[in-house]
Structure 1
Amino acid sequence: MSQAEVQLVELPEWARPWLSGVLPSQRTEQNPNGSPYPPSQNAFLRPPSSPSLICSPSSVSADSQGTGILTKCSEKRLVVTLGRERTVNRYLRGIHLFMITVNATLGTGLYWRGGQILQLGGPLAVVLSFIFIGILTWAVMQCITEMLCIWPIPGALSVYVSQFVDEELGIAVGVTYWFVYSMSFSTLVATSAAEFNFWEYIRDRPVIQGLVIYLLIPLMLVCINAIRIEIYGWLEVATGSIKIVFLGVIIVILIAINLGAGPKTQPLGAKYWESPTGFDTQAANNWGTALLMSISIATFAYTGVEVVAASALEAKWPRRAGEQSTTPERSLRSNGAHIGKSFKFSAIFIPVLAMIGYTISGLLATLDIERNNCALPHLSWLSVDLDPNCKVPSNSAAFVAIAAMSNIPRLADVFNVFLVFTCLSCAGTNLYIASRTLFGITSRLDGGEGQRWYLRVFAWFGKTDRRQVPRRAMIFSAVAFWWVPFLQLIRGNGDTQSSANTTNVTRASVDTFVEVLSQMSYSAVLIVWGCECLAFIRFYQSISQHRDYLERENVPHVQRWSEQDPDDYPYRSHSQPLTAYLALLGCIFVSLVANGAALWNGFHLLPFFASYLTVIVFVGLWVLLKIMRGANWSLVDLSQPDKVARIFRHLHDIRLSVTQS
């Protein structure tokens, strides 16, 4: 094109906020006759370090005044090079992503919730609940992985729902997902305090709890999350490896205890499986109800299997040897088979590995401790009254209780150290996920002048520091619920004889409240999982319905059934769309049925809030966003092939803008 030609290009909405402050505010181009065109925000998109535009002209015509030439483009490919303050470094390799997912998944769910399930539903419930949720998370991750291998973008889980289901629903998913991990960070700190209380020296000194456990340890985790991502990734590798070793040691010792290797122990064998369906009659009126409640509790242990979607925005982008891509279209086509190489293994196999580890560990625990043992944790919301045969309420994990009963010197202390390390490392990883989630959903907001005040506030969180770490989002995610662990310092008052009972009641109430908040977080993650399954179903339907059009228009990376270039589609998940439908139904079943089973033996306010308050708030947030934005009460229209192609190209543009920045 000559210098007199003007490209009329309409920027996609997502690009405009990133270009604010980059595009010249007033700039004109002289036509051949010397008359300037009116300044346009969408023209001349080539300032230094700004977007590059690839445009294939299809026709040339004169403008309405006959003074210039307008070039109409049939194909526009806009690659936005983001400002440094809106991007993160992409240094995470496959091993980093794998260990981040391990750290987020392998927390206290197995060690604490496994014992709770055993007390509630018996040995069989432990095995079945871990297997059921393991299969469910595998099916969910099949859906997420297929989309993630194509579009590893910031705020991926939110964007998928926005593009294929509903925009406001996608925003609600992003906020909910941030809540899951921001809240989990604080509740894990509170859980670590319960583990520290295993040692009397700490239990009797609330000053140590308040200063060290609730203040200094979270502050240390914040500092760790503030370091460069290339260093943080290796720290995750180190802590994840240690946690895997710890779990392996625990499994070996449990086997040895069961075989009678420890002093004063006798082989237990299958003694405690003589009544595999024993259950807590105070919590449920039959074993089936107890099993449903156990399935609900087991969800907590699997929270984190999907975090690879949040950390993928910092994954190192693989390139073929010797490749030097110079155009966006070449970049789109290249690396088709390699695009998800860094995180595909983690996304696919973490649910399977977690299910195997949880099931084996839970099974071994059922062989080493009886269901009605006083050391097992009970459901705190049922009653503060103690069993007549129990002297004190349980405040330890099942594995620690088994170690204490084995009479092996200091074994319980060693196990408890394992649990403290596991809990705190998981808390640190959850803070990482919360910060990247908040950054992902705010980095594309326009915080310029003229925007509403709350949009400017949210956009402020979408910037990174000089290390390209989203420090603002990380600090806010840490302090949002930092107050939760401090509640455990509340104790009963009084000098009368009943002061001890008052203290127990007060402490039990606080522990119950913290547990409700913890349960709300895993209830929320079920909503996110379900929405991702729905997004995949609609994505799958769109590429199936418009497959001929997409192939004819040569839209890359969405031609699932193409035989010409099988590597163009990075990952094909198994038995779709049946897997997606079953996963969606499973999420709905656990959210509405299994979570509500706690109310079948009598209404209890606290489990009701724990199970359904998150659902109520999520739906309320979705409705509020619809009203505030004046949006239509309908899903994204995927019936027109050209609209679907625009959605895919829009997602490709976001991906390229991130990977080339």
Structure 2
Amino acid sequence: MGLMVWTLMCSLGEMIAHLPIPGGHLALADRFFSPSLSFTLGWSYWYLWSITLPTELSASALFVGFWTVKVNMAIWIFIFLLIVALINLGGVRFYGEMEFWFSSVKVITIVAVIILGLVLDLGAVTGDMIGFRYWKNPGLFAQYADVPGAAGRFLGFLSVLVSAAFAYVGVEMPAIAAAEAKNPRRNLPRAIKRVAGRVLGFYVLSTIIVSMLVPSNEPRLRLTTATGAKSPFVIAIHNAGIKGLSSVINGALLSFTLSAASSDLYISSRSLYGLSITGNAPRFLAKTTRNGLPIYCYIIGIMMGTLAFMAASHGKAGIVFGYLANMTSVTGLMSWAGIFITYIRFRDGMEVQGFDRAQLPYQSPVGVTGAWCGFISCVIITILNGFRVFLKDKWDVATFITCYFPVAAFILLFGAHRWWTKAGMVEARHMDFVTGSDADAEEEEIPPKNWVEKVWRALM
């Protein structure tokens, strides 16, 4: 999944570094594929972030369950939704300030738990070196349900791909902010090149360490209970007998989900606002307050957040989180597929028009081949995502709907828009590679003053 995300950012980076236009990949889809794809991606993007908000609120309720399960989940969800609403109500400046501190906590915590994980694995705390013990027993690849042999291990691997995609949802966000970024032709390629390091450091390395610390058959990892002791890092710290630290880490993880929920409301409201001002949503949604808050879009975003109250039933928070996370991941995968196919058409247009690729500020190292691999991977994972309901005696209506409703909605939106507007695919010879490509005046970059600033800039 990390490799596919890196491929995605390489493809998106080549387009957006050359054309840092408002709307990011949504506008690029309109310019290089078809207005129907842009329309569908726009509404899917709003839906993605709208459904992610209750997902993160449900996760927040799960983390609180680490300390107590006596308080009804609905109370915590209401409190967290209120906090998120107030952060967004404060305007862009207040939201940005809060996100800076949330992000700082994230980076510090991730680095700390990676180091701590290595210490615990080497036995420096308990005297018992774990090493790669759990890779041998119960094994690196867990069996799926009761399916034996290699088939069971493959299905176990397949079953977590969509869950892995959930962790990467939003990685394409720099494309949305490209038009407002300083010196995008210089800074966006730099940010794209750092993606590989961040994926390896923050995602892959932490996943490897987790697999070394906690066995895959650890019962506390299950989402079927309302307790918050589900984070493998929290479980590992608890197993090591380090008193108090598991609560600190759980608190940091709670701040992560609140930060994500705040971003979800911000992005969903702005996505709906963008659809309104482009004529793809009712005009009244474009109304803003004095500080620029799209008030009706903001209210609708909060209303979507109330879906998290489905998790309020005792013991249901984990199950509801799983359903919402699955819908988020599937929608994200289809959005990524849209970016890949847009890049493929982008390259077709360059070839037809004889555009010199060497003039671009950034060139994807994986090219069209990588984009096709990414597109096909997204489609295959999306189609096979609901395989579990087709196994013997495993049919579940809720699982089927959460796996395939986003797919049906995507196809319906695309088909309806194309039928209504009669808009076809943009011909390669008519693609516009010029408008919006003018390089901004380069501002002198302030170099880091010391090694601390160098490290912080590389991480952030």
Smaller-chain TM-score bracket: 0.7 to 0.9
Partners of 2:12 and 2:289 in 1: CA distance: 30
Residues 281 and 161 of structure 1, relative CA distance in 2, 3 Å threshold = closer
Q: How many aligned positions are there?
A: 434
Residue 180 of structure 1 contacts residue 524 of structure 1 at CA under 8 Å; is this kept in 2? yes
Q: Does 1:359 align with 2:359?
A: no
Partners of 1:487 and 1:250 in 2: CA distance: 32
Residue 2 of structure 2 contacts residue 204 of structure 2 at CA under 8 Å; is this kept in 1? no
Deviation at 1:400, TM superposition (A): 1.2
Residues 308 and 482 of structure 1, relative CA distance in 2, 3 Å threshold = same
Moved over 6 A (4+): none
TM-score when normalising by structure 2:
0.86
Deviation at 1:394, TM superposition (A): 7.8
**Superposed, which structure 2 residues align to 1:509-588 within 5 Å?**
511-547=318-354, 559-561=355-357, 566=359, 569-588=360-379
Which of 140, 152, 170 is the matching residue for 2:8? 140
Residue number in structure 2 paired with 1:181: 49
Q: Does 1:415 align with 2:249?
A: yes
Residue number in structure 1 paired with 2:78: 215
Partners of 2:288 and 2:196 in 1: CA distance: 31
**Superposed, which structure 2 residues align to 1:261-340 within 5 Å?**
261-262=124-125, 264=126, 266-275=128-137, 276-282=139-145, 284-285=147-148, 286-316=152-182, 318=183, 339-340=184-185
User: Which has the higher Rg, Structure 1 or Structure 2?
Assistant: 1
Partners of 1:572 and 1:222 in 2: CA distance: 40
Residue number in structure 2 paired with 1:79: none
Deviation at 1:224, TM superposition (A): 2.0
Residue 526 of structure 1 contacts residue 591 of structure 1 at CA under 8 Å; is this kept in 2? yes
Deviation at 1:472, TM superposition (A): 3.8
Residues 229 and 343 of structure 1, relative CA distance in 2, 3 Å threshold = farther
Which of 137, 150, 165 is the matching residue for 2:33? 165
Residue number in structure 2 paired with 1:485: 308
Residue 172 of structure 1 contacts residue 618 of structure 1 at CA under 8 Å; is this kept in 2? yes
> Percent identity, aligned pairs only?
22
2:286 aligned counterpart, secondary structure: coil
Deviation at 1:651, TM superposition (A): 5.6
Residue 138 of structure 1 contacts residue 352 of structure 1 at CA under 8 Å; is this kept in 2? no
Residues 473 and 560 of structure 1, relative CA distance in 2, 3 Å threshold = farther
Q: 1 or 2, which has the higher helix percentage?
A: 2
Residue deviations 1:569-616 (CA, integer Å, cap 9, x gap): 3222214222222221221222123x1443464343233223222111
1:431 aligned counterpart, secondary structure: helix
Residues 291 and 513 of structure 1, relative CA distance in 2, 3 Å threshold = same
Partners of 2:362 and 2:92 in 1: CA distance: 27
Query: Which ranges in structure 2 are unaligned for 5 or more consecutive residues?
Result: 441-460
Residue 12 of structure 2 contacts residue 339 of structure 2 at CA under 8 Å; is this kept in 1? yes
Residue number in structure 1 paired with 2:292: 468
Residue 122 of structure 2 contacts residue 130 of structure 2 at CA under 8 Å; is this kept in 1? yes
Partners of 2:171 and 2:146 in 1: CA distance: 29
Which of 596, 607, 619 is the matching residue for 2:399? 607
Residue 524 of structure 1 contacts residue 615 of structure 1 at CA under 8 Å; is this kept in 2? yes
Deviation at 1:187, TM superposition (A): 1.0
Deviation at 1:162, TM superposition (A): 2.0
Deviation at 1:471, TM superposition (A): 4.2
Partners of 2:286 and 2:21 in 1: CA distance: 14
Residue 13 of structure 2 contacts residue 189 of structure 2 at CA under 8 Å; is this kept in 1? yes
Partners of 2:146 and 2:276 in 1: CA distance: 43
Residue 63 of structure 2 contacts residue 228 of structure 2 at CA under 8 Å; is this kept in 1? no
Residue number in structure 2 paired with 1:622: 414
Partners of 2:50 and 2:140 in 1: CA distance: 36
Deviation at 1:135, TM superposition (A): 0.6
Partners of 1:351 and 1:459 in 2: CA distance: 40
Residue deviations 1:510-543 (CA, integer Å, cap 9, x gap): 6434421221111001101111111111111111
Residue 189 of structure 1 contacts residue 424 of structure 1 at CA under 8 Å; is this kept in 2? yes
Q: Does 1:243 align with 2:106?
A: yes
Residue 155 of structure 1 contacts residue 437 of structure 1 at CA under 8 Å; is this kept in 2? no
Q: What is the one-letter code of the residue matched to 1:241?
A: S
Query: Which ranges in structure 1 are unaligned for 5 or more consecutive residues?
Result: 1-132, 319-338, 385-391, 446-454, 492-506, 548-558, 657-661
Residue 377 of structure 1 contacts residue 398 of structure 1 at CA under 8 Å; is this kept in 2? no
Computed over aligned residues only, the root mean square deviation of the Cα atoms, in angstroms, reads: 2.7
Residue number in structure 2 paired with 1:443: 277
Q: Does 1:433 align with 2:285?
A: no
Deviation at 1:169, TM superposition (A): 2.1
Residue 66 of structure 2 contacts residue 228 of structure 2 at CA under 8 Å; is this kept in 1? no
Residue 444 of structure 1 contacts residue 462 of structure 1 at CA under 8 Å; is this kept in 2? no
Partners of 1:278 and 1:649 in 2: CA distance: 49
Residue 357 of structure 2 contacts residue 363 of structure 2 at CA under 8 Å; is this kept in 1? no
Deviation at 1:624, TM superposition (A): 2.2
Residues 217 and 414 of structure 1, relative CA distance in 2, 3 Å threshold = same
Residue number in structure 2 paired with 1:495: none
Residue number in structure 2 paired with 1:341: 186
Deviation at 1:165, TM superposition (A): 1.6
Q: Does 1:150 align with 2:18?
A: yes
TM-score when normalising by structure 1:
0.61
Residue 306 of structure 1 contacts residue 347 of structure 1 at CA under 8 Å; is this kept in 2? no
Deviation at 1:287, TM superposition (A): 0.6
Residue 283 of structure 1 contacts residue 598 of structure 1 at CA under 8 Å; is this kept in 2? no
**Superposed, which structure 2 residues align to 1:36-51 within 5 Å?**
none
Residue 157 of structure 1 contacts residue 174 of structure 1 at CA under 8 Å; is this kept in 2? no
Deviation at 1:440, TM superposition (A): 2.6
